[in-house]
Amino acid sequence: MAAALDPVTLEVLRNALPAIANEMAADLQRTSYNMMIYEVRDFCTALINADGELLCQNVGGVSHFVADLGVIITDGMKKHGREGFKPGDVLIMNHQAVAGQHLNNIVIYMPYFFEGELMLFSMVRAHWIDVGGTSTGFGAGRDCPDPWQEGLQFDQLKIYKAGVLDDTLYKMIRDNVRFPESSMGDLRSQIASCRLALRRVDELFLRYGKETMMAAVARIFDETEARCRAIVSNIADGTYEASAFIDDETPTGLDRIDIHAKVTVNKGSMTIDLSGCAKERPRGLNSRTLAGARIAYKALTQPLAPVNEGSFRALDIVLPEGNIMMARHPLPMTGWSRILPTVVDTVVASLASAMPEGIPAAHHGVMGGGSIIFAGVDPKTKRRFVTQSIEGAGWGGRPTEDGESGTVSICQGDVRNGSIEGMEMKVPILIEKRGFRPDSGGAGKYRGGLGLEVHSRGFIDGRWNLEQSDRRNCLPWGLWGGGKGTCSEASVKKPGENNFRVMHGFRTPLPAETEVFMRTGGGGGWGDPLDRDVERVQNDVREGFVSHDSAAQLYGVIVREDFSVDAAATAAKRAAIKAERRKASERATV
């Protein structure tokens, strides 16, 4: 007979479940073969119940993965039925009709049974370096016309059936990827992580019993929901809207993808309506995910609390079929994540008037800021290689402090850039510089975070992904008088050339000794730049974050070459800027 759910037991289980997901993550990171997993941490680990409800996810797990875990379980239950799962089963899944992401994001999951009853699943979603097709690196590129060219599609396949490996399926995968040692090593690592979770879950069920475990989960869901409702209830009831867009460089010219968020608050409940966003399109920018709305809601309610299904019970999402974020198979989804950070920014921005002291300016809004992807064949080892690093960028200034610098997008959890040492040890590349990009953050009382400057050189002929920002024409906006941030760009200097020139392209062939200079964007500023403390501006100039000229023109602060402040000149400059603003305002009203 189960023990009563006393407060101590509840707190133990409230912390034990996320601890399992965290241990799964540690196990995965230590045993994986792929730098995108063990170094960059482009993965998440989770426990999901048989109804597809999220029990827990690891701290720092990629946040735009979380919305698409439960749908995989509910789909698996439809395909296999409750009786179709057996102890020892291991399923592999990435099919876009359900998973809604690029095919590199491979899900491995396993069922857990207690006393013969299916209770839950352990799950790992992780970024493989290659899944065949044109998938090497981050995917097949936005011009890929369909998912079959992206790579292998796995639709709820059992790679282990009741503990027995399906040798045919295993060999089929191994024979159709470019880096079998890496991909199959990651597969084994994911399986090991899931098995570890099942052992830990079994320990809890054996100790506390089924009734106590289920009661604890129900209580955790209810209390999480109540906390979220209490926070939303502090927002005035009403409907709030905001719009933005991202660029889409098509073969026929520059297009744009419109984003519109309508947020309705009603007595602690929130509805996020994204039906005004662009429609699906025959290019690799589609997705099938609730992540944009869910990430924004989590950030607005309990950003630091563990996530579970209760985190989203008070949220309704309007996202109709045929929307670019609810696209229908077989539309390509290789660039599925590109729109999501700007969607989150737009949802959050819609509430700026309702929460003026709680909403930041826009962040760089680019998945990965500006990634380093370099691939080729090492002439010494005769082996293929690919190195990847997700470089951070700037976040928006906040009501009380500057934005974070050199940080990945709001959708990416604890993803970080690849270490310089790791990249240089494994592939023929030299990272000559990685540092903050001056003047990249928007001016404000609280400055936008800075982007990065990364200068690299390939020692052999190879192919580079030279990303161009999708926010060139919708720069990270400021709030309450804050200035706009900047966008990312890549420049190239080939051997024999004297100057860098802007270049972008997917798998661009470049000769040995080519230098690639990636600059990532900065966040928008918060508040009037003239309200920024003079000492803060002085320190920014001293640290190289803001140039002398920007300090004078944007902040009205005159910093001498020895980094001292000319107080009289500063007062005069700020007065002149305010006078010019008044004149501009008067002209605008005439």
The stretches of 88-156 forming alpha helices (DSSP H) are: 96-99, 147-150
Alpha-carbon span 54 to 46, nearest angstrom: 7
Alpha-carbon span 524 to 361, nearest angstrom: 5
The stretches of 39-130 forming alpha helices (DSSP H) are: 70-80, 96-99
pLDDT tens-digit readout, 471-525 = 999 999 999 999 999 999 999 999 999 999 999 888 899 999 999 999 999 999 9
The closest of 349, 378, 306, 376 to 15, measured between CA atoms, is 306
Q: What is the DSSP letter of 67?
A: G
Q: How many CB atoms lie within 10 A of CB 163?
A: 10
Where are the strands (E) in 215-352, listed by range? Answer: 238-250, 253-266, 269-273, 315-318
Alpha-carbon span 221 to 552, nearest angstrom: 52
The phi, psi pair for 90, rounded to 5°, reads -130, 125
pLDDT over 90 at 439, yes or no: yes
Strand order in the sheet with 501-502: 429-436, 452-458, 515-519, 489-493, 501-502
pLDDT tens-digit readout, 392-427 = 999 999 999 999 999 999 998 888 888 999 899 989
Residues 6 or more apart whose Cβ sits within 8 Å of residue 341 = 363, 364, 365, 366, 367, 409, 410, 411
Scan for tokens 């390509």, then name that residue.
Answer: 332
Q: Is 495 exposed, middle or buried (0-12, 13-18, 19+ CB in 10 A)?
A: exposed
Indicate the angle between helix axes 210-232 and 180-208, nearest 10 degrees.
110
The helix/strand/coil state of 316 is strand
pLDDT of residue 470: 87
Proportion of the chain above pLDDT 70, given as a percent: 98
Strand order in the sheet with 164-165: 54-57, 43-49, 117-127, 105-114, 90-93, 157-161, 164-165
pLDDT over 50 at 11, yes or no: yes
**Averaged over 303-312, what is the pLDDT?**
95
pLDDT over 90 at 253, yes or no: no
Helix H or strand E segment including 410: none
pLDDT over 70 at 233, yes or no: yes
**Averaged over 232-243, what is the pLDDT?**
98
Q: Who has greater pLDDT, 218 or 586?
A: 218
The closest of 51, 62, 167 to 120, measured between CA atoms, is 51
pLDDT of residue 137: 64
pLDDT band for position 2 (cuts 50, 70, 90):
very low
pLDDT over 60 at 90, yes or no: yes
pLDDT over 50 at 526, yes or no: yes
Scan for tokens 């016309």, then name that residue.
Answer: 145
Helix H or strand E segment including 196: helix 180-208
Q: What is the CA radius of gyration of the chain?
A: 25
Alpha-carbon span 511 to 513, nearest angstrom: 6
The rounded mean pLDDT for the chain is: 94
Decide if 342 contacts 336 (C-beta within 8 A).
no
pLDDT of residue 588: 84
**Averaged over 162-182, what is the pLDDT?**
96
Scan for tokens 């729109």, then name that residue.
Answer: 339
**Which residue type sits at 337?**
S
Ranges of each domain in the chain: 7-224, 360-528, 534-589
Task: Copy the structure tokens of residue 96.
Answer: 């876009």
End-to-end, the C-alpha distance of the chain in Å comes to 80
pLDDT over 80 at 38, yes or no: yes
Strand 269-273, strand 315-318: pairing: parallel
Decide if 340 contacts 367 (C-beta within 8 A).
yes
The closest of 239, 306, 303 to 266, measured between CA atoms, is 239
The phi, psi pair for 385, rounded to 5°, reads -145, 155
Which CA distances in Å does 113 have to 118, 119, 569? 4, 6, 74
Strand order in the sheet with 462-466: 384-389, 372-377, 462-466, 505-510
pLDDT band for position 590 (cuts 50, 70, 90):
confident
The closest of 395, 311, 317 to 359, measured between CA atoms, is 395
In this structure, the dihedral spanned by the alpha carbons of residues 64, 67, 70 and 71, taken in order and rounded to 10 degrees, is -100
**Averaged over 104-117, what is the pLDDT?**
97
Q: What is the pTM of this model?
A: 0.94
Q: What is the DSSP letter of 469?
A: -
pLDDT of residue 330: 95
pLDDT band for position 255 (cuts 50, 70, 90):
confident
**Averaged over 517-538, what is the pLDDT?**
97
**Averaged over 208-227, what is the pLDDT?**
97
Decide if 57 contacts 45 (C-beta within 8 A).
yes
pLDDT band for position 1 (cuts 50, 70, 90):
very low
